[in-house]
Amino acid sequence: MLLFSGSVNRGLQVSAPMFLLVISMAASGQPGAGRLKWTTEGNAYFKIENGGIDRIDLPDRKETVIVSREMLTPAGQTKALGVRNFAFSNDGKKLLIFTNTKRVWRYNTRGDYWVLDLESKQLKQLGRDRPASSLLFAKFSPDGSKVAYVSEHNIYLEELAAGPGDAVKCLTSTEGTRKLINGTFDWVYEEELDCRDGFRWSPDGRHIAYWQIDANKIRDYLMLNTTDSLYPFVVPVEYPTVGEAPSPYKIGVVDVGTGTTKWMDIPGDPRQTYLPRMEWADNSSQLILQQFNRKQNDGKILLSDVATGATTQLYEEQDSAFIECKGAWQDGVVAGWDWLNGGKEFLWVTEKDGWRHIYRISRDGKKETLVTKGNYDIITVSLIDEKNNYVYFIASPANATQKYLFRTRLDGKGKLERLSPENEPGTHEYDISPNGLYAMHDFSNANTEDAQEWVSLPGHAPIGKSADIPAKVAEGAAKKKVNFFTVHTADGVDMDGWIVKPANFDSTKKYPVLFFVYGEPASQTVLDRYGNGNNFLYAGELSRDGYIYISLDNRGTPAPKGRAWRKALYRHIGRLNIRDQAMAAREIMKWPFVDTSRIAVWGWSGGAATTLNLMFQYPELYKTGIAVAAITDQVTYDNIYEERYMGLVTENPEDYTAASPLTYAKNLRGNLLYIHGTGDDNVHYKNAELLLNALIKYNKVFQFMAYPNRSHGIFEGEGTRRHLSTLYTEFLKRNCPGGGR
């Protein structure tokens, strides 16, 4: 599912988890394009500069041109390649260039690839006999002599030194189709398990391991395109809804010399399990796999022998609710597997003791060591520095709205050390060099604009010009706009929130409140970072127009508050989160400056479903609502997301009914604006028409806007975002006018 973040003014980006729409540097590019490209030793990094590629050495930040614009200009052409992403071969003698990219559902992962020989300066296009912009996930072999890539559902191998006639070989026998997918994934694996790049070179370069996904038994959802040709045509998407069995998977290991594939013998029914991760097990003879059962509350780690295909279980984790899966991609790049001690151990993150902690697991699964100790969650792992016995990670033990860099000893015997400065409250993010000596440090909080600086670690001393973040924090605090607060509800729940009050606020007057909601497991809205408190759809500024703007995080949102907080929503979406939000609103409505006759709520996708449920289940509280692209009937959405958080519909259908806004549509009293794109491949337009029928049945008056052939993000087409903003703003002002009374 997708959520629109408050920082959407930085650019539009659609990400993989359900209802999660985030804003990042990769908005128009391949995932990972915004991350630093470090040298292996970690004392320098590369960046795209003036159409070429420069190397920047640390700490003095000396800049050297490695690849000029002229070197990226193909023979006979005058225009250089536009570099979207790049990668060096292991020996540093060749450069792989990703260009001319096209979007595949969320990201621009499809395009053209070229190889530049840095010694001969020769530039060669890969897959010249393939359709334009059809190559995905190209990777050098370990020795740099070959490149493998996916094109039209097959994996191809290209010898860089070979002649034109024998350079390219299909490793999957051209058997791939739209429904039989080699080396990449179907829609739902990409959307909900963050799986995109589906093949891995063995360390010795002799084999490639890959996924094969068989979507032949998955029914197509037929989207109707009525705008791009004289006659309408259908756009099929292999889309397993709630109750439908998953696409079966296979893991193959192909010998790149002979083209022969050996299939791994993986236990379990591939139509009742998922396999979101597969990597080489720190050698060229075994694969390590992660497998989930259908309900995603039982996770296994398996080892496969690539010669025989024999597969054994080495670790298992079970949960009474669900286990989150981070998939094959993390932070936009292939995640890999974190091995230690010469491949005898690996790091693993689990919340089985009630908190999200890091463990060391032995290769045979018989021994585990808790690395991060205490009643706090780690948020993400930033760096594993085995040489110096440290692991760096993001956490925030005292404030779930913020993020800081910590480290502790890898052997589990150390204390927790905070590296982010104490006088910089807010959100800290880091891109750390492989040797742990340097980091690009990004900071902001709700009232302090983004600041960026280079720092040395572990001391966090600025390298070169300091961003003087404490001064920026003080400046932001002096003109403070966003405030954070906690609401204690009648149910005994403490909910974090942020609030933006009207400009020239007068406590003797009463003002309207607009709630921004999400409320599902894919994201939290109450974060202390710049952009929160802004409303990207409102044409103007809410505070100037006399609105109180508030957002709250209910139980079940992925805040670092422990397992019990996050798992409380299991099988209770559409009920527990709705009650939490409503009970918090009741407390806020007791504030003397709140006009209880002017209470509005809005959200997108998961937040839109929350908006509808609030309007329908608590019509006495919420008088105006704006919902964009909501799931109105839970059984219409995909199986992976819904069954993870709601269980199997065959076992507990009553929970799905209780979660669905359609169940309560008859209760609508207030003013409702519903918006949906007809080309939405994520939350299908069917949801809009189901809601329309229900509201018509009960003779409810409402406003509806369909955006022709727009996707879940509703951004395609000239004038679309301006029109959406105008529509949103006019409806809110007309039905819930701003200003103190």
Angle between helices 576-588 and 606-617 (to 10 degrees): 70
Task: Give the pLDDT band (50/70/90) at residue 329.
Answer: low
Query: For the residues 228-257, what does the mean pLDDT come to?
Result: 95
**Mean pLDDT, residues 368-392:** 96
pLDDT digits (tens, 9 = 90+) for 629-650: 999 999 999 999 999 999 999 9
Q: What is the mean pLDDT of the chain?
A: 92
Q: Which own/partner pairs from 215-218 qualify as long-range (CB within 8 Å, at least 24 positions apart)?
A: 215/178, 215/179, 215/180, 215/181, 215/186, 215/247, 216/179, 216/180, 217/245, 217/247, 217/248, 217/271, 218/179, 218/186, 218/244, 218/247
Question: What is the pLDDT at residue 475?
Answer: 93
Mean pLDDT lowest among 61-75, 158-172, 665-679: 158-172
Residue ranges of domains in the chain, CATH in brackets: 50-170 (no CATH), 173-331 (2.140.10.30), 336-445+447-479 (2.120.10.30), 481-735 (3.40.50.1820)
CB contact at 8 A, 151 and 127: yes
E strands, 68-145, are: 85-88, 94-104, 107-117, 123-125, 135-140
Phi, psi of 606 (to 5 degrees): -60, -40
| 164: preceding bond cis by omega (within 30 degrees) | no
Which pLDDT tens digit goes with each residue over 206-240? 999 999 999 998 999 999 999 999 999 999 999 99
Mean pLDDT of 445-468: 95
Q: pLDDT tier at 410 (50, 70, 90 boundaries)? A: very high
Burial of residue 81, with CB atoms counted within 10 A of its CB: 0-12 exposed, 13-18 middle, 19 or more buried = buried
Cα–Cα distance, 308 to 305 (Å, whole number):
6
Residue-wise pLDDT tens digits, 536-563: 999 999 999 999 999 999 999 999 999 9
Q: Given a cut of 90, is residue 331 above it in pLDDT?
A: no
pLDDT at residue 332, rounded to an integer: 56
DSSP collapsed to 3 states, 166-199 = CCEEECCCCCCCCCEEECCCCHHHHHHHCCCCCE
Q: Which residues are bridge partners to 625 per DSSP?
A: 601, 672
Query: Which is higher by pLDDT, 448 or 23?
Result: 448
Arithmetic mean of pLDDT, 131-137 = 92
Supply the DSSP symbol for 466.
-
- Per the DSSP assignment, residues forming a β-bridge with 98 are 85, 113
Q: Is the pLDDT at 96 greater than 50, yes or no?
A: yes
pLDDT of the residue at 35: 79
pLDDT at 473 over 60: yes
Q: How many CA atoms lie within 13 A of 489 on its CB side?
A: 21
d(CA 590, CA 581): 15
Averaged pLDDT for residues 266-288: 97
Q: Report the length, in residues, of the chain.
A: 741
Q: How far apart are CA 661 and CA 370, in angstroms?
A: 43
If DSSP codes are grouped into helix, strand and coil, which group holds residue 8?
Answer: helix
DSSP 303-367: EEETTT--EEEEEEEE-SS------SEETTEE----EEGGGTEEEEEE-TTSS-EEEEEETTSS-
Q: Looking at the predicted structure, is the pLDDT value of residue 10 above 80?
A: no
Could you tell me what percent of the chain has a pLDDT over 90?
A: 87
Q: Which helix (H) or strand (E) holds 438?
A: strand 438-445
Q: Is the pLDDT of residue 23 over 70?
A: no
Name the burial class of residue 506, with classes exposed (0-12), middle (13-18) and buried (19+) by CB atoms within 10 angstroms of its CB. Answer: exposed
- pLDDT-based confidence at 326, cuts 50/70/90? confident
d(CA 405, CA 418): 6
Q: Are 116 and 88 in contact (CB under 8 A)?
A: no
Which comes out higher in pLDDT, residue 28 or 169?
169
Residue 9 has what pLDDT?
Answer: 28
At 22 the pLDDT is 31
Q: Is 468 left (phi over 0), alpha (psi -120 to 50) or beta?
A: left
Tokens of 209: 């391991």
For residues 658-684, give the mean pLDDT: 97
> In the prediction, which pLDDT does 93 show?
94
- Three-class secondary structure of residue 450 per DSSP: strand
From residue 317, alpha-carbon distances to 255, 287, 352 in Å are: 33, 19, 8
Write down the pLDDT at residue 18.
32
Helix locations, 675-735, DSSP H = 686-697, 720-735
pLDDT at 4 (0 to 100): 36
Cα–Cα dist 41/45, whole Å: 10
pLDDT tens string 701-710: 999 999 999 9
Q: What is the mean pLDDT of residues 594-599?
A: 98
Per-residue pLDDT tens over the stretch 491-534: 999 999 999 999 999 999 999 999 999 999 999 999 999 999 99
- Mean pLDDT confidence for 283-311: 97
